[in-house]
Amino acid sequence: MEIDLDALESNLATIRVLGGRGTRVAPVLKADAYGHGLEACARVLQQAGATMLCVATLDEAFLARSAGVRVPLLVLFPIPPDAVHDAAEARLEVVVTDMDGAGELLSAWGRGRARQDGTTLRVHLEIETGLQRGGVSEDAAADAARTIAAAPGVELAGVWSHLASPGDAAFSAGQEGSLRRALAAIEEAGLPRPAVHLSATGGLFAGTGAAHDLVRPGLALYGELPDDLPIGESARAAAAALRPVMRLVARPLRVAQVDPGTPVGYGGRWTASQPSLIATVPVGYGDGYARGTQPGAEALVRGRRVAIVGSVAMDALAIDVTEVPGVSTDDEVVLLGAQGDERITASELARRRTTIAWEVLAGMAHRIPRVYHRASGPTSVRTLAGEFLVRDGAT
């Protein structure tokens, strides 16, 4: 897997301009940075000026810290209450999504205050506006905010929600209104206005969610947009400027001639109808290339589309390269990304699997080596053995 760090930086810059002056960009790096590799992506985005990064779990946040990330990290899902002091000491910002959870978190925080180390716990209060996944109601927002702000050593750092259907302008407007009413109630309660955030990729590019103080781009950061998202007029130039970050490539293990009538792969689901040249590629569903991609899936070889034939196995798949002269084990096979004038996108693979681009990217297995590069060449490699920096062409 090749990860283009220049493209990642470029996408961040594009999103920053789209968000508008004064809006902070907090890239989302959950699920191993959508399959791209959390550690390297986090460091690059920090260098590129991201003022905050978002993850889903406490473990992801600690991994980012161990990789050298120093900017604020927001954990988007609730953490175990007994981990609250470790989180605060690591300068992680946490969320409260309901009053029971808030009580448990603040109680755990209070029990550990004997240390009196001066650490502040920064909490973001989630408002339920329509996604029905988490958050307090707008009617309960002021009481929840008061409870958080009154706890010793605790700061109400944010109020936020998440758009359920960013392509639906009317529904998104309803969510925006609910969040604004909750915020107004908090301000009427005499509390300082915290940072407000709602929009992610969908709201930004459809123009259905206000940028507020902070935006949390995910998919667009990696150069992809949802197939069915209506792009707002003001976002069309930004959408066109996005560059895919991930490219999945391999070289054949074998290129062999098979006779007509020869079955290929487990179960013999495909049989050669003519003398055929079949290349075995060492990528399979164990790497995140799902069996459900077939039938009709293709790869790129020498800038041409070729059919993936037979069953996708755990560690291998087969491609029919009969019509591409001269293919050998030295050739590059592209399963995701561009080669010549052709490109296979995450959205194309998603359509074949009846899923979404997010799942295609995030489903890439940890065992696939990630080679991080810029225009000047490779910068690091991540394998199951760990991460290795590239210096003068060597790791």
- The tens place of each residue's pLDDT in the chain, 395 residues long, gives 999 999 999 999 999 999 998 889 999 999 999 999 999 999 999 999 999 999 999 999 999 999 999 999 999 999 999 999 999 999 999 999 999 999 999 999 998 764 557 889 999 999 999 999 999 999 999 999 999 999 999 999 999 999 999 999 999 999 999 999 999 999 999 999 999 999 999 999 999 999 999 999 999 999 999 999 999 999 999 999 999 999 999 999 999 999 999 999 999 999 999 999 999 999 999 999 999 777 789 999 999 999 999 999 999 999 999 999 999 999 999 999 999 999 999 999 999 999 999 999 999 999 999 999 999 999 999 999 999 988 765 66
Q: Which two tokens stand for residue 310?
A: 């037979």
* Tens digit of each residue's pLDDT (9 = 90 or more) over 363-382: 999 999 999 999 999 999 99
For tokens 């175990």, what's the residue?
80
Distance, CA of 165 to CA of 168 (rounded, Å) = 5
Q: What is the pLDDT of residue 395?
A: 60
Determine the pLDDT at residue 295: 78
Q: Which residue is listed with tokens 């060597």?
A: 394
- Tell me whether residue 273 is exposed, middle or buried, using C-beta atoms within 10 angstroms of its C-beta: 0 to 12, 13 to 18, 19 or more: exposed
294, amino acid identity: Q
- Is residue 301 within 8 A of residue 319, CB to CB? The reply is yes
Contact 42, 33 (CB under 8 A): yes
Residue 113's pLDDT is 62
Is the bond into 275 cis (omega within 30 degrees of 0)? no
Q: What is the DSSP letter of 158?
A: E
- Helix, strand or coil, per DSSP, at residue 53: strand
- Quote the tokens at residue 385: 């053995």
222: annotated active-site residue? no
Closest listed residue to residue 238, CA positions, set 15, 2, 9: 15
The torsion of the CA quartet 339, 320, 270, 294, rounded to 10 degrees, works out to 0
For position 392, what pLDDT does the model report? Answer: 63
Return the pLDDT at 114. Answer: 47
Write the secondary structure of 253-308 as one string of H (helix), E (strand) and C (coil): CEEEEECCCCEECHHHCEECCCCEEEEEECCCHHHCCCHHHCCCCEEEECCEEEEE
User: Phi/psi at 322 (nearest 5 deg)?
Assistant: -55, -40
pLDDT for 105 equals 97
Q: Give the DSSP per-residue string, 117-128.
A: ----EEEEEEB-
**Structure tokens of 148?**
């958080």
Torsion sign across C-alpha atoms 196, 199, 203, 204: positive
Encoded amino acid at 15, one letter = I
Catalytic residue check, 30:
yes
Of 30, 222, 289, 372, the active-site residue reads 30
Q: Report residue 258: phi and psi, to 5°.
A: -125, 150
Q: Which residue has the tokens 């066109």?
A: 240
317/302 Cα distance (integer angstroms): 18
SS3 content of the chain, % helix, strand, coil (to 5): 35, 25, 40
